[in-house]
Amino acid sequence: MSLTPSQPEGESARSRARMRLYADRHYASPYAMSVFVALREKRLDFEMQVVDLGANGQDEPSYAAQSLTRRVPTLVDGDFALSESSAITEYLDETFAGRPLYPRNRHDRARARQVQAWLRSDLMPIREERSTEVVFYGVRMGPLSPIAQAAARKLYAAAEALLADGRQCLFGDWSIADVDLALMLNRLVLNGDEVPSALVAYAGRQWENAAIREWVGLTRPSN
């Protein structure tokens, strides 16, 4: 699949032509989505290829040779390949001009990275009981277990603290951390779980982002 947004100023066509994003074949990885949105926001040309994780495509020698951690997403930029989504988005922000992906204030930038790291390493009960099939396939799941309810309360408390002044985005201006937080909240919102109204509104606003809408609208296999 080839996706080619408009060209950014100052980058050579030669380097852009070699950029490639590997995602899962169901386009259900929240981390692949995060990198996809980052590439779109930077207005970078790239092509997207899929890896069949169900068939252990991540272990194929050709893919393993490029992806150090054998996971998706992996970004290939010329002769440089990088996996792990937050590492990729930081690389993109430091390498290419265009819309900033992270806050320029160092404290806010550190907090954005903290939010990303937390969402990737914690809240496992939510991720287990509210898979991204809820978000991208419209699957509805049963009531949350007590441990998942506790994780949800923890998520809501942190999100409400970060958005306490009624701001539209986490750090005033949009950042890639907003994509990640909105995705985690929408695991619950789109399942019909009880979520504080201010967080429902926040996640809904983030979901209006054109790149997110494009990712959500991708054609997905049924199995």
CATH C-level class of 2-99 = alpha beta
The pLDDT tens digits of the residues spanning 166-220 come to 889 999 999 999 999 999 999 999 999 999 999 999 999 999 999 999 999 999 9
Element (H, E) at 64: helix 61-64
Q: What is the mean pLDDT of residues 14-32?
A: 83
The pLDDT tens digits of the residues spanning 91-102 come to 999 999 999 999
Domain boundaries, the chain: 2-99, 106-209
Q: What is the mean pLDDT of residues 36-60?
A: 88
Q: How would residue 17 be classed by pLDDT, with cut points 50, 70 and 90? A: low
- Residue 24: both structure tokens together: 């899962």
> What pTM was estimated for this model as a whole?
0.89
The pLDDT tens digits of the residues spanning 170-180 come to 999 999 999 99
The pLDDT tens digits of the residues spanning 119-153 come to 999 999 999 999 999 999 999 999 999 999 999 99
**pLDDT greater than 60 at residue 8:** no
31-48 burial, b at 16+ Cβ within 10 Å, e below that, comes to: bbbbbbbbbbbbbbbbeb
- CATH architecture of the region 106-209: Up-down Bundle (1.20)
State percent of the chain over pLDDT 90: 78
The answer to whether the beta carbons of residues 41 and 101 sit under 8 Å apart is yes
